[in-house]
Structure 1
Amino acid sequence: MRLICWNVQWGRDASGDVDLPRTLAEAKRIADFDVLCLQEITRGFGALPGRPSGDQFAELEGALPGFTVLDAIGVDLPPLEANAPRRQFGNAIVTRLPVEQVFRHTLPWPADPDAPSMQRVALEAVLRAPGGSVRVVTTHLEFYSLKQRLAQVDELRRLHLEAAAHAARPAPAENAAGPFAATARPVSAIVCGDFNSAFESEAYQRFVAPLTENPHDAPAFIDAWTTLHPGKTPPMTAGVYDTVQWSSGPMACDFVFVTEDLRPRLKRCEIDSATRASDHQPVLLELD
């Protein structure tokens, strides 16, 4: 199973040009992916720099036949012009694996008057992967507000504890056709995205801290890259080539975390430092 996680900034490259098909071509160059987790996908936000298309989720569907495109909208605002679509901004999971369940989690947004901010979400899909079903979660945490970022990390940890409880104590479906489906979910999970948190920062350390006294109840998260590259510091993942938006310098803030039980299946995790197709660098995960 190959997964690529990437903040693609609506297909805007390091020089400011928007071309989502080019971004997808770069992802295909990196790997023949089974799962593509994307942040900063838009619908109705044509006024953004580079003028993205009217519906990038539909653009993904058209460009990747045979894949399922899932969306989670964080920001949902009225149009700027009459009869225009609503302006929506969020995350996507694109996969050719069978999708068993989908959850869209609105993340906390505590008031912080000193910082610009937006509503953030986490998109979760239970995928039938080789080796067993796994929960894949992609997210994009707040940039300006540490208060909000930490609250969002805490919520991601709480959601994992909730999923682990469903895995241990599932409820049966009410019937075969209704919405009260079986609640069983796999405890194994991949959580990836743009955490807007530097490597080993407070938010990073909080996310990978143990969740319970008994790790068998809910396995903690480990950083896939550092696990496979022990003793090394991950390469920068944001602001490597776009030095205008990242005038204070690059940082490592895009991560792929996996639950401890997936450690034996980790085969490869690499950060592609060559592409200039976004202000962020993509992260590739491969599970055996």
Structure 2
Amino acid sequence: MKIITWNMQRGRGTDGVADLGRAVAMLRAFSDFDVLCLQEVACGYTDLDGYDGSDQFAEMATLLPGYTALNGKTDDANAHPPRAFGNMMFSRYPVLQACRHSLPWPAEDGVMSMQRGALEATVDTPSGPLRVCTTHLEYFSPRQRAAQVERLRELHVEAIMHARTSRPGLFKHGPFAVVPRAAAAVLTGDCNFLPDSTDHARLLAPFDDASIPPYLDAWALAHPGQAHAPTVGLHDASPEPDRPFTIDYIYLSADLAPRVRRLEVHGDATGSAHQPVLLELG
């Protein structure tokens, strides 16, 4: 099973041009992926550089036939024209359930921010149901980002408890029908924190309930003892000394650790300022 995560930044390449066809071709050349997780998909934001305001949620679904397309719009404004921004997920496997979670957004005076979310899907893979979640955490506010990390941990516990709980509910009961929510999980996204940050450490921290498998960093499993490969700033001309750096990750619940076969950052990709990251599970 192959999973890619990528902050596509509306498909705006390092040449300043937004080209979704080119972006999809790059992803397909990188891997014949089973699940694709995207951040910064846009619709209607005509003031963003290199982007004409087209509905990228619809365009990406058209460009990837054969996949179930799920949108996770976190900024969905009833404007004229409509404006939306957020995450998407594509699955080659049947999608058993999709959940769209709003992440905490505590008010802070004078701090630029936006509503953030996590798009979750339980997919029916040949190895059994798998919960895949993609997110994009706050950039400007450490306080908001820390709260969002806590919520991701809470959602992980909640999903595992759902998986362990016997609930009534048949198909005839409509929305009360029981739909699987998998315990085994992969969490992907642009987390806007560095590998040595307290946020990264907190996301990986054990739970008070020792029966809950904690999240593990797939990079550390595939490349033990090696520094993370950078995912941002490889192809820009910025003179800043802290570039390139890593803020894009794939995590997985500890019960999936034996299945990790490969974790690779596509260092040559120029489809956005971020590099796609690939996880392969056996």
Q: Give the TM-score band, short-chain normalised.
A: over 0.9
Residue of structure 1 in register with 2:90 after alignment: 94
Cα deviation for residue 255 of structure 1 reads 0.3
Counterpart of 2:271, as a letter, is A
Secondary structure (helix, strand or coil) at the match of 2:174 reads coil
Residue of structure 2 in register with 1:178 after alignment: 174
Q: Is 2:111 the partner of 1:115?
A: yes
Residue of structure 2 in register with 1:36 after alignment: 36
Residue of structure 2 in register with 1:129 after alignment: 125
Over residues 175-205 of structure 1, what are the superposed CA-to-partner deviations in whole Å (9 max), with x where a residue is unaligned? 4350112154211000000000011211100
Tell me if structure 1 keeps the 8 A contact 2:96–2:180: no
Cα deviation for residue 171 of structure 1 reads 1.0
Among residues 238, 251, 254, which one is paired with 2:248 in the alignment? 254
Deviates more, 1:19-28 or 1:170-179: 170-179
Q: Which stretches of structure 1, 4 residues or longer, exceed 3 Å deviation after superposition?
A: 174-177, 243-248
Residue of structure 1 in register with 2:152 after alignment: 156
**TM-score, normalised by the number of residues in structure 2:** 0.95
Secondary structure (helix, strand or coil) at the match of 2:128 reads coil
Among residues 254, 262, 265, which one is paired with 1:271 in the alignment? 265
State the distance in 1 between where 2:35 and 2:240 align. 28
Among residues 264, 284, 288, which one is paired with 2:278 in the alignment? 284
Residue of structure 2 in register with 1:67 after alignment: 67
Residue of structure 2 in register with 1:236 after alignment: 230
Identity %: 44
User: How many equivalent residue pairs?
Assistant: 282
Tell me if structure 2 keeps the 8 A contact 1:169–1:184: no
State the distance in 1 between where 2:245 and 2:99 align. 30
Counterpart of 2:36, as a letter, is L
Cα deviation for residue 250 of structure 1 reads 2.4
Counterpart of 1:221, as a letter, is Y
State the distance in 1 between where 2:241 and 2:228 align. 20
Deviates more, 1:128-137 or 1:163-172: 163-172
Task: Identify unmatched segments of 5+ residues in structure 2.
Answer: none
State the distance in 2 between where 1:10 and 1:244 align. 20
Residue of structure 2 in register with 1:196 after alignment: 192
CA RMSD of superposed structures (Å): 1.6
State the distance in 2 between where 1:128 and 1:175 align. 18
Tell me if structure 2 keeps the 8 A contact 1:173–1:181: yes
Counterpart of 1:73, as a letter, is K
Secondary structure (helix, strand or coil) at the match of 1:178 reads helix
Cα deviation for residue 86 of structure 1 reads 1.5
Deviates more, 1:16-25 or 1:170-179: 170-179
Cα deviation for residue 248 of structure 1 reads 5.3
Task: Identify unmatched segments of 5+ residues in structure 1.
Answer: none
State the distance in 2 between where 1:169 and 1:123 align. 22
Equivalent residues in 2 for 1:219-230, closer than 5 Å: 219-230=213-224
Cα deviation for residue 53 of structure 1 reads 4.7
Cα deviation for residue 242 of structure 1 reads 2.6
State the distance in 2 between where 1:243 and 1:206 align. 33
